[in-house]
Structure 1
Amino acid sequence: MKCLNEFRISKGKEMHGRLGSRLVKGLASGEKGQLTHFNDELLNEVIKECSENFLALQSLIRKMQEEGLDFQTTRNADHYGALINHLSLIRNKRCLMAYVYNRAEMIQNLAWTVGLRLFELPEEIQEKLSHLEKDYFKRHSAALESYMSKVDLNLNVDMVPPKDPYIKVRVLDDLGEGIVVSDKAANFARHSMHFLKRTDAEPYISRMRLKNEEVGQLPHLHRENNGKFYVVTKAQVFYMLHSVVNLS
Structure 2
Amino acid sequence: MRSTGTKKLLASIKRAKGNPSIPLSPYDDETIRAIVAECRTLHDEILELMKGEDTKLDELSDGLKSTLVIRHQTILRNKQCTLAYLQHRLEALCALRLEVGLNVPEKIRENTSQLEAAFLTDYDKILSDYMRAVDLDLTASQRPPKDLFVEVRANTDCGEIVTEQSGVVDLAKGTSHYLRAADVEDLVKQGLLEHVG
- Is the Cα contact below 8 Å between 1:17 and 1:91 reproduced in 2? no
> Could you tell me how far 1:86 is from its partner in structure 2?
0.5
Match of 2:125 among 130, 134, 142: 142
**Is residue 2:80 matched to residue 1:94?**
yes
> Could you tell me how far 1:150 is from its partner in structure 2?
1.9
Give CA-to-partner distance per residue, 1:104-146, whole Å, 9 cap, x none. Answer: 111111121111x3xx111222222222112112222222222
Taking a change above 3 Å as real, the CA distance of residues 138 and 44 of structure 1, as seen in their structure-2 partners, is same
- Is the Cα contact below 8 Å between 1:17 and 1:88 reproduced in 2? no
Between the aligned partners of 2:196 and 2:47, the Cα distance in structure 1 is 63
Q: Which structure 2 segments of 5+ residues have no match?
A: 163-167
2:165 aligned residue: none
Which 4+ stretches in 1 moved above 6 angstroms?
Answer: none
- Is the Cα contact below 8 Å between 1:171 and 1:188 reproduced in 2? yes
Q: TM-score, normalised by structure 2?
A: 0.81
1:40 aligned residue: 29
1:165-244 pair list within 5 angstroms = 165-171=148-154, 175-176=156-157, 179-182=159-162, 183-188=168-173, 193-214=176-197
> Could you tell me how far 1:98 is from its partner in structure 2?
0.4
Question: 2:80 is matched by which residue type in structure 1?
Answer: R
> Could you tell me how far 1:67 is from its partner in structure 2?
4.0
Between the aligned partners of 1:24 and 1:40, the Cα distance in structure 2 is 14
Question: 2:84 is matched by which residue type in structure 1?
Answer: A
1:112 aligned residue: 98
1:48-63 pair list within 5 angstroms = 48-61=37-50, 63=51
Query: What is the root-mean-square deviation of aligned Cα atoms in Å?
Result: 2.4
Question: 2:186 is matched by which residue type in structure 1?
Answer: P
Taking a change above 3 Å as real, the CA distance of residues 111 and 104 of structure 1, as seen in their structure-2 partners, is same
Identity among equivalent pairs (%): 25
Between the aligned partners of 1:104 and 1:194, the Cα distance in structure 2 is 37
- Is the Cα contact below 8 Å between 1:168 and 1:212 reproduced in 2? yes
2:69 aligned residue: 83
> Could you tell me how far 1:32 is from its partner in structure 2?
5.0
- Is the Cα contact below 8 Å between 1:60 and 1:79 reproduced in 2? no
Q: TM-score, normalised by structure 1?
A: 0.66
Q: Which structure 1 segments of 5+ residues have no match?
A: 1-14, 215-248
